[in-house]
Amino acid sequence: MKIKALANSLQFKIYTLLAVTITMTLTITGIIEYLGDKNSLQQQLKQDALISSQRIASSLAEPLWNLSHTQVQAILKSNLKSREIQALQIKLQPGNKIITTYKDSNNKIIHISKPIVNSNYNDSIILPIKYRDETVGKLTYFIDSSSINETLTKIIYKQGLQTFILNLLIIAATYILISKIIIKPL
């Protein structure tokens, strides 16, 4: 009988309404913050990729002009150690020869002479490779956006924990205020 009376009491209804309202507000705020952080991380990744691809294109110009295959492979291999690069592809001009270096699922670096036809790569940047104002090839820089997933997962856990703790604190403070200030005097 006491539980039923508590469930029907005005105090219980106020606590329930506050708990639901606070939880929904904190959840919506957390989702908005998560989406903002995700967008910011993606923009930062693309900006870093553009800067990196420009640097790689300029460092490849002289070795491509001099046809130094070992130096080109060394540059590609050293740049693939970066987390945000999934693959690098060079299309030489003239002749349209392809040089491709990519990371497989085990992060092992693979060199092939075929174009990448895998649609698993989310985004790419294509830049001309110029040596003394003459185009010697095109660099395609494939971005690995999974490198930001770890950060996004941490943000989700942080938002969930923050929502839970704030919810508990606000509900506890509200309980004390309502029971001591409003209900006790009645």
Mapped onto helix, strand or coil, the DSSP state of residue 103 is: strand
Mean pLDDT of 3-14: 67
Please name the residues in contact with 172: beta carbons below 8 A apart, sequence gap of 6 or more.
Answer: none
pLDDT > 80? residue 120: no
CATH 3.30.450 is the classification of domain 2-183: yes
Question: 37 near 152, Cβ under 8 Å?
Answer: yes
Position 40 scores a pLDDT of 93
What's the rounded Cα separation, in Å, for the pair 174 and 29? 20
Q: Which helix (H) or strand (E) holds 157?
A: helix 149-177
Both tokens assigned to 36: 């903002």
pLDDT tens for residues 78-115? 888 888 888 888 888 877 788 888 888 888 888 888 88
pLDDT tens for residues 34-49? 999 999 998 998 898 8
* Cis ω before 185 (30° cut-off from 0): no
Position 8 scores a pLDDT of 64
Position 1 scores a pLDDT of 47
What's the rounded Cα separation, in Å, for the pair 49 and 58? 14
- Number of C-alpha atoms within 13 angstroms, CB side, residue 94? 0
Q: Which helix (H) or strand (E) holds 153?
A: helix 149-177
